[in-house]
Amino acid sequence: MNIDGLNIDGHTRIFGLIGNPVGHTMSPVIHNTLASYYGHNLIYGAFPVADDPVKAVEGAYALGICGLNVTVPHKSAVIPTLVETDDFAFKIGAVNTLVRVDEKKGYKGYNTDMPGLYRALQQENIGIAGETVVILGAGGAARAVAMMTASKGAARVLVLNRTVSKAEAIVREITALYPDCRMYAGSIYDLSNLPDEKFLCIQATSTGMSPHVEQAVIENSAFYERIHTGFDLVYNPYDTKFMRLVRQAGGRAYNGLNMLLYQGVIAYELWNNMKVDEDAVSLVRRRLKEEMGL
């Protein structure tokens, strides 16, 4: 069978995503486009796994599946079944990419979400080292962003959340790991302690995600005047209210599509032991945008 230039045969390496739900995933677009671009004999699909992700991973190994992505709600639950976990993924406590290691008879876990975000920032020349970063949110995504920015040498990180105790817990934990980074916790409702200088703001709450496109986690225009660059982890909608507020106040604004793209690219690189070139990245970006109707 010939699909988009791919020949599916007895040698085709099989990859996929486990999570629940998986119906809206764009990962097949990323990986099957790259496979087609490079002429790799592999195929990527989505496996809905409602419960028992550990059994799913063990079954995937038994079936000879070469690699998996893991999404919500299983990113932490699969860790006990892995034969190895990359250091950074271990610190974050969440994996999104499993690489088959035959010698160890199991999978090694990685987290490519944060390296994906880092590469997306680098691509736009947005620096982290020595910078002041304000993170909105204190869920799993915000915690990982705080870990990444501290590990990349941010001078100062402020975590603002609706529930302040969650921001405080993140600050305590990450300060212990990266004592050189000055970390502060605060409330999204009290903006009296913002840094004096303009800052990079990373929006890591679920606010503003489709269908709630008219929401932004902070609406106060004075806050947005302090932002030189705003990065929203949300990519649907393509232009979020947070991004519009950043731009209206004179800052640069980016959505999370490149983070999604690069987390996939880095997983593909791990699975195929290669570097994906920028032409391939551009092709995948075009396909993702087409998929989103853009």
Positions annotated as catalytic residues are 75
In the complex, minimum distance from the CB of residue 207 to ligand ATR, in angstroms, rounded to a whole number: 5
Q: Which is nearer to ligand ATR, 218 or 253 (CB)?
A: 218
Give me the residue whose beta carbon is nearest to ligand ATR.
Answer: 139
Q: Which is nearer to ligand ATR, 157 or 217 (CB)?
A: 217
In the complex, minimum distance from the CB of residue 165 to ligand ATR, in angstroms, rounded to a whole number: 9
In the complex, minimum distance from the CB of residue 233 to ligand ATR, in angstroms, rounded to a whole number: 8
In the complex, minimum distance from the CB of residue 80 to ligand ATR, in angstroms, rounded to a whole number: 20
| Strand pairing category for 67-70 and 97-101 | antiparallel
In the complex, minimum distance from the CB of residue 191 to ligand ATR, in angstroms, rounded to a whole number: 14
Where does this chain bind ligand ATR (CB under 6 A)? Answer: 137-142, 161-163, 166, 205-207, 217
Q: Which is nearer to ligand ATR, 185 or 284 (CB)?
A: 185
Q: Could you tell me which residues come within 8 angstroms of residue 180 by beta carbon, excluding any fewer than 6 positions away?
A: 153
Distance CA 133, CA 42 (A): 40
Q: Which is nearer to ligand ATR, 85 or 205 (CB)?
A: 205
Q: Which is nearer to ligand ATR, 74 or 287 (CB)?
A: 74
- Under 8 Å between Cβ of 149 and 157: yes
Q: How buried is residue 266: exposed, middle or buried, by Cβ count under 10 Å (0-12/13-18/19+)?
A: buried
Q: How buried is residue 224: exposed, middle or buried, by Cβ count under 10 Å (0-12/13-18/19+)?
A: buried
Instruction: Please state the length of the chain.
Output: 294
